[in-house]
């Protein structure tokens, strides 16, 4: 299938590693010009080198933290200066820390809201004038299957990502008249650095080892394994593409069957 992505201009945040990087790689392989973003300069440089060597695509890197209030607008402006416009936006950020409800004070909640909700709001708000000028505007927010089935010890993520799903659906309804599509990918457990960190924390709490925690976790999935990052990325890339031109307002779980509900 031709996804009709060649030459499209994309911004993918939180993309120096993990799912963001996998999406950036997939878009670059489809011929997109891609702006990537992350907080760590060394990791960003390494990501750019890998993307360029593997795809020969035009890649730019813009360092910064999307959880900082003023940065999303600056990130979008730098992307526009480089590409002259924007067609595709993937809003993604590292998840808030794990922990029980009693362990988080107001500043911890506010930081998590800035990172996992307001970063999406600020990025979309800054990108909206340019998306309105595109002939194939599409936005994908990355959230988690936890918005349908809360994950133990992740109260911040469970709570705040649900608001991002509400935002995504609301914008799909509100801005469909402008031809802008909004969808969300709800990943399950995926072999990324963040998941390794979460499994390490579980192992410390339970007095076990990481491999045991991973085995316990994948036993809950229908497919009996964690996802590879590219498996989640492929779903996001399809939703971003003109090939999915009549799909909007979808919250797509890519979770190997761990979510047990029917809706």
User: What's the pLDDT at 193?
Assistant: 82
CA 134 to chain centre: 21
Pick from 165, 78, 82: nearest CA to 117: 165
DSSP 97: P
Domains of the chain, with CATH numbers? 9-189+228-254 (3.40.50.720), 191-226 (no CATH)
3 state DSSP class of 115: helix
Distance (Å, whole) CA 139 – CA 17: 20
3 state DSSP class of 39: coil
User: What's the pLDDT at 145?
Assistant: 95
Pair of tokens at residue 203: 């192992």
User: What's the pLDDT at 43?
Assistant: 93
Q: How many residues does the chain have?
A: 263
Per-residue pLDDT of the chain (263 residues; tens, 9 = 90+): 899 999 999 999 999 999 999 999 999 999 999 999 999 999 999 999 999 999 999 999 999 999 999 999 999 999 999 999 999 999 999 889 889 999 999 999 999 999 999 999 999 999 999 999 999 999 999 999 999 999 988 999 999 999 999 999 999 999 999 999 999 999 999 988 888 888 888 888 889 998 888 888 889 999 999 999 999 999 999 999 999 999 999 999 999 999 998 88
Alpha helices in the chain (DSSP H): 18-29, 41-55, 71-83, 106-113, 119-131, 155-175, 193-206, 210-218, 229-240
User: What's the pLDDT at 69?
Assistant: 96
Between the alpha carbon of residue 190 and those of residues 41, 76, 195, 217, the distances in Å are 24, 28, 7, 11
User: What's the pLDDT at 138?
Assistant: 98
Distance (Å, whole) CA 100 – CA 153: 5
Between the alpha carbon of residue 231 and those of residues 18, 26, 214, 226, the distances in Å are 12, 10, 18, 10
Between the alpha carbon of residue 246 and those of residues 66, 112, 171, 180, the distances in Å are 29, 33, 15, 11
């Amino acid at each position: 299938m031709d996804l009709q992505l060649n030459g499209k201009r994309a911004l993918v945040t939180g993309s120096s590693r993990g799912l963001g990087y996998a999406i950036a790689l997939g878009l670059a392989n489809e011929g997109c010009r891609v702006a990537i973003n992350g907080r760590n300069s060394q990791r960003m440089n390494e990501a750019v080198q890998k993307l360029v060597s593997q795809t020969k695509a035009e890649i730019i890197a813009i360092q910064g933290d999307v959880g900082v209030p003023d940065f999303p607008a600056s990130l979008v402006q730098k992307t526009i200066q480089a590409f002259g416009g924007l067609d595709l936006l993937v809003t993604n950020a590292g998840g808030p820390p794990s922990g029980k409800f009693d362990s988080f004070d107001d500043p911890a909640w506010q930081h998590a809201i800035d990172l996992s909700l307001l970063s999406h709001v600020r990025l979309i708000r800054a990108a909206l004038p340019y998306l309105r000028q595109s002939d194939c505007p599409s936005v994908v927010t990355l959230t988690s299957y936890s918005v349908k089935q809360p994950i133990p010890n992740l109260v911040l993520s469970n709570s705040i990502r649900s608001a991002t799903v509400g935002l995504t659906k609301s914008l799909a309804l509100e801005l469909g008249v402008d031809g802008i599509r909004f969808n969300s990918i709800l990943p399950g457990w995926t072999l990324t650095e963040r998941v390794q960190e979460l499994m390490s924390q579980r192992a410390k709490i339970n007095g076990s080892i990481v491999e045991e925690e991973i085995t316990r976790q994948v036993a809950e999935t229908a497919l009996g394994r964690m996802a590879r990052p590219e498996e989640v990325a492929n779903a996001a890339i399809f939703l971003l593409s003109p090939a999915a031109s009549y799909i909007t307002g979808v919250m797509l779980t890519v979770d190997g069957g761990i979510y047990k509900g029917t809706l």
